[in-house]
Amino acid sequence: MARLTQQRCFNHATREAVARCPECGLFFCRECITEHEDRVICAACLRKQARPPLLRRPGFAGVIHLGQLALGFLLAWFFFYLVGETLLAIPSSFHEGTLWQEYWFEP
């Protein structure tokens, strides 16, 4: 294994390396590294960590979201179907008002 003092920057071949990125293992000069969460890390690895999780693996998460959407529509349709069936089961005399006159207002 080569010593740090003998290494050159990955991006700038003429500059001496001052640190090694713990993520990718490459050597970098002072200009190419940054401190993030108490670690010295290169810009490329920092960009990878800053990326939102959904952008890394959209395939399976998209299928799950699509399934949840379909299930939601199915449940909403079933609910309104049951409400419609309940309304259709009410006798027509209730809708015409004769049910109220027949039982409540007759002496």
Q: Tell me the pLDDT tens digit for each residue of 58-82.
A: 577 788 889 999 999 999 999 999 9
> Count H helices, E strands: the chain?
5, 4
Radius of gyration of the chain (CA): 35
Q: Residues 6 or more apart from 27 whose CB is under 8 A from it?
A: 4, 7, 8, 9, 10, 17, 19, 20, 21
pTM exceeds 0.75, yes or no? no
Q: Tell me the pLDDT tens digit for each residue of 38-55.
A: 888 888 888 888 766 555
